[in-house]
Amino acid sequence: MNAEKPEAGELSLPQAFLLLATNDKDGEPDVPQAVLKAGLAGAILAELDLLGAIELQGKHVRATGAAPATDFQHQLELIREKSRPHTPKRWVSMLESRAELHRVYEGMASLGIVDHVGERHLGLFRTTRYPEKNHAPEAALLEKIRGALGGTAGGQGTSDGGMSPSVATDPRTAALVGLLYSAELLGKAFPGADQGRARELAHEHWPSRAVADELRMIRLAEAEAAT
């Protein structure tokens, strides 16, 4: 595949995913932690895939030998060093990490995109929230997604009530749409958008399929535990 590097000032897919998965005002995730961690893991795989560092060969993820500059070198080295290849779903499960969530959030805080807000409870427990500080990066992401889906945020469409036709979608935006769809986040920001188009993008994108498979297994395990 042709490597696609982010443009200057453009967020990585993990950053973009977390930014859109987090409430702008209170800085809390809009999805459960399990979904957030699985989505982030899938976004890391998607970023490495876009950079040409990894690829799907048959049913397994393999490193390509390319050595692009990336903030996710640790995950790339894990994939390179495994003696046995793993499926995309297995890698999503292996890369889920609260520490990585914190690292990506803190990276956005250092860029001035979100604020780091820490709270202490009874002097013992600490929670951290990341409310939005600069809306411009998220606005740019939403505009690209809007174009990919052929509609506008909040479900506003054409004058006859339909959605405007979708335009050509760049690989980075297509990957983000697929990840958001698999994490069931897309409908919250774009309730009136073409979900069929989003479903198609998610189906064509192997990291997004891996996220959906992992979340399906998590839900099944939770259902069994509740019985």
pLDDT digits (tens, 9 = 90+) for 54-65: 999 999 999 999
Q: Is residue 40 part of a domain?
A: yes
* Residue that terminates a domain, selected from 100, 129, 158: 129
**Residue 225 pLDDT class (50, 70, 90 cuts):** confident
Domain count, the chain: 2
106 shares a domain with 154 = no
Instruction: Provide the pLDDT for residue 165.
Output: 41
Q: Check residue 8 and give its pLDDT.
A: 54
Q: What pLDDT is recorded for position 34?
A: 95
User: Are 121 and 166 found together in one domain?
Assistant: no
Band of pLDDT at residue 4, cut at 50, 70 and 90: confident
Specify whether 23 is located in the same domain as 115. yes
Q: At what angle do helices 98-110 and 33-50 cross, to 10 degrees?
A: 70
The pLDDT tens digits of the residues spanning 92-121 come to: 999 999 999 999 999 999 999 999 998 766
Residues 6+ apart with CB under 8 A from 212: 182, 202
Where does a domain end: 129, 159, 174?
Answer: 129
Question: Does residue 88 sit within a domain?
Answer: yes
Whether 211 shows a pLDDT value over 70: the answer reads yes
R_g of the chain computed on alpha carbons: 18
Distance (Å, whole) CA 75 – CA 73: 5
Q: CA–CA separation, 57 vs 65, rounded Å?
A: 14
Write down the pLDDT at residue 171. 96
Last residue of a domain, one of 94, 129, 164: 129
17 shares a domain with 95: yes
**What is the DSSP secondary structure assignment for residue 60, as one 8-state letter?**
E
The pLDDT value recorded for residue 42 is: 98
Q: What is the mean pLDDT of the chain?
A: 88
In degrees, rounded to 5, the angle at the alpha carbon of residue 212 between the alpha carbons of residues 56 and 187 is 125
Residue 6 lies in a domain: no
Residue 94: give the domain boundaries: 13-129
Rounded to an integer, the average pLDDT of 136-156 is 78
pLDDT the model gives residue 125: 56
* Contacts of 154-162 spanning 24+ positions with Cβ under 8 A: 154/190, 154/191, 154/192, 155/190, 155/191, 155/192, 155/193, 156/192, 157/192
Give per-residue pLDDT as tens, 151-208: 544 333 333 334 344 446 899 999 999 999 999 999 888 888 888 999 999 999 999 9
pTM above 0.85, yes or no: yes
Q: What is the pLDDT of residue 187?
A: 87
Query: For residue 21, what are its two tokens?
Result: 């998965």
Burial class (CB in 10 A: 0-12, 13-18, 19+), 83: exposed
What pLDDT does residue 156 have?
36
Q: Is the pLDDT of residue 88 over 90?
A: yes
Q: Percent of the chain, pLDDT > 70?
A: 87
Residue 177 and residue 17 in contact, taking contact as beta carbons nearer than 8 Å: no
User: How far, in Å, CA of 210 to CA of 9, rounded?
Assistant: 28
Q: State the burial class of residue 68 (Cβ atoms within 10 Å of its Cβ: 0-12, 13-18, 19+).
A: middle
60 within 8 A of 225, measured Cβ to Cβ: no
7 lies in a domain?
Answer: no
